[in-house]
Amino acid sequence: MGAELIVIAGKLIVLATLLLTAVPVMVWVERRGAAFIQDRLGPNRVGPWGIIQPIADSVKLLFKEDLTPAGVNRWLYFLAPMISVFIAMLTFIVVPFGDGCGVTILGQPLGSLMVASELEVGVLYLLAISSLGVYGIVLAGWSSNNKYSLLGGLRASAQLISYELSMALAVLGVILATGSLRLDEVVAAQSGKLWNAVPQFLGFVVFVVAAFAETNRLPFDLAEAETELVAGYHVEYSSMKFAAFMMSEYMNMVTVSALLVTLFLGGSTLPGVHLEGWLGLVVSLAVFLGKVAFFMWLFVWVRWSLPRFRYDQLMRLGWKGLLPLATVNLVLVAVGVARGWTWI
């Protein structure tokens, strides 16, 4: 029991470190990436290539005055950023972010690097917890007592509900093909054959698009559309409360990228590579991080390449585009499973 707890705590520490480190790194990548795409320099004063800039930024945010505007609902105004960060961190514990490769620590086999390794309903847990993330945004918008915030919060809730459906349907295809709700088994099922992204290409595309919408990133960032809503749901927030929203946005990006990699691109495995022991552990971790990094860059790339959707376009795409596509994918997979096609 003791050793088991220590192993779980160790996994948690690694996970939290990865997640929290990803935030400043991504802020830097985003700013440098934006500058690169727009043919300007970007932050380049603090540290080599401006790499210390996110730390300077967070120090600045820490020392900003923590304002509470008049007329806000104090409790909810205080709670909303916390809910956002809390939910963003909670979702990750069912994602296998590496492969133990037979390594034992304190007599405990490491298995796949997944914190909640006992949970049988991993995918459902993930969908359930991430569906709670909308409360952070909605409550922030409502409690701020500001029309722009309220509109941002309303847009966010409508958008998240709409795209959650397509996303869940796309995930359902993968579950159907795997026959398990555990993400480590989803990864294991992909190791001997084509990655899910090939036979379930439709589901993959739907999931990628829905991922952008679920993380409130351009071209779906209608909840904080600067040109219309100033900054949307977090317009009244300052200091670390504002930083909390930013952190949760980047952590959600990491989570959704990790999920994409796990569900559709073979997680921490590479085809034809089977390593044992510590080397295998490190390599699997690196492979996983590399795949996630690709999608993180995709988020940045798309953000600075595409303009924002109009609201009606967003809804039309969600309900008339993605939902039918996801359903078609599900039906195709169901037919494949019923016919016993092994490659699906």
Partner 1 sequence: MVMTVFVVAAVLAIVSALVAVSHRDPVINVLSLVVTFFCVAVNFALLGANFLAAAQILVYAGALLVLFLFVIMLLGAPQAPESGLHRPVQKTAGLALAAIVIIGGVLLALTMKVLPPASPVTGDAREIGKAMLTTHAFSFELISVLLLAAMVGALMLVKRKH
- Residues within the interface to partner 1 (CB under 8 A): 76, 119-121, 124-125, 127-129, 131-132, 134-135, 138-139, 141-142, 150, 153-154, 157-158, 160-161, 164, 181
Q: Which is nearer to partner 1, 35 or 121 (CB)?
A: 121
Residue 227: partners with Cβ closer than 8 Å, 6 or more residues away: 308
Shortest Å, Cβ 74 to partner 1: 13
- Report the candidate in 144, 139, 136, 142 with the shortest Cα–Cα distance to residue 72: 144
Q: Which is nearer to partner 1, 76 or 302 (CB)?
A: 76
Shortest Å, Cβ 139 to partner 1: 8
Give the end-to-end CA distance of the chain in Å, rounded to a whole number: 39
Q: Which is nearer to partner 1, 153 or 173 (CB)?
A: 153
Task: State how far the alpha carbon of 184 is from the alpha carbons of 98, 213, 262, in Å.
Answer: 9, 26, 8
Q: Which is nearer to partner 1, 138 or 326 (CB)?
A: 138
Shortest Å, Cβ 192 to partner 1: 22
Shortest Å, Cβ 157 to partner 1: 5
* Residue that is written with structure tokens 């073979």 in the block: 266
Would you tell me how many other CB atoms lie within 10 Å of the CB of residue 305? 10
Residue 272: partners with Cβ closer than 8 Å, 6 or more residues away: none
Q: How many CA atoms lie within 13 A of 114 on its CB side?
A: 26
Sign of CA dihedral 285, 293, 190, 91: positive
Shortest Å, Cβ 161 to partner 1: 6
* Residue that is written with structure tokens 């099922």 in the block: 189
Instruction: Collapse the DSSP code of 323 into the 3-class scheme (helix H, G, I; strand E, B; otherwise coil) and give the result.
Output: helix
Q: Which is nearer to partner 1, 83 or 218 (CB)?
A: 83
Query: Are the C-beta atoms of 164 and 216 separated by less than 8 Å?
Result: no
Q: Which is nearer to partner 1, 132 or 273 (CB)?
A: 132
Shortest Å, Cβ 220 to partner 1: 17
Q: Which is nearer to partner 1, 28 or 125 (CB)?
A: 125
Shortest Å, Cβ 134 to partner 1: 6
